[in-house]
Amino acid sequence: MAGASIVCPLHPRPAPPVCTQAGCPEPPLIEYPPYEGSAATVLVRRAGAAQVLIRVPVSEGRFTALLAPGRYVVRAHVGLPCWTGTRQLVTVEAGRFAPVVLQVNDGCVVHPDTPVTP
């Protein structure tokens, strides 16, 4: 897998515009910066198996893993409280790269526009 990266949504995505007519615009895509903390790793396991095969370090938001052909589940992991990461099913073919983009999110960060309930 080359070109793999882990991105970090620092702020929640804005709510899509309310539109009930045909031809409504798509909400804008938001580009998030890569996660650059030292607590990130990527866990790789074979699809359908529970055992983690390798833990890949993340450097400047990027990671690379050399894998044999097959199907794998690749998951972002940040070893800090509140953080969650996405996972992706990846099919690796012999002699080919499989680009992967994973996201991590800090659930303890609250956007300033979020209403507070008592």
Look at residue 87 in the predicted model and tell me its pLDDT.
94
Instruction: Decide if 57 is inside a domain.
Output: yes
Is the residue at 60 inside a domain?
yes
> Per the domain annotation, does 21 fall within a domain?
no
Residue 81 placed within a domain = yes
Concatenate the DSSP letters of all residues of 77-118 into one string: EE-STTEEE-EEEEEE-TT-----EEEEEETT---TTSPPP-
Q: Is the pLDDT of residue 93 over 90?
A: yes
Q: What are the strands of the beta sheet with 87-92, ordered from one edge?
A: 54-57, 40-46, 70-78, 87-92
Across 82-96, average pLDDT: 92
Evaluate whether residue 18 is within a structural domain: no
At 36 the pLDDT is 80
- As a whole number of angstroms, the distance between CA 71 and CA 98 comes to 11
Structural domains of the chain, count: 1
Residue of 65, 67, 78, 92 lying closest to 34 (CA atoms): 78
Residue 79 in domain: yes
Question: Which residue did the predictor score with more confidence, 19 or 42?
Answer: 42
Domain assignment of residue 56, given as a range: 4-10+32-104
Q: Note the pLDDT of residue 7.
A: 52
Greater confidence (36 vs 1) lies with 36
CATH of the domain at 99: 2.60.40.1120
In a domain, 72, yes or no: yes
Decide which of 31 and 77 is more confident. 77
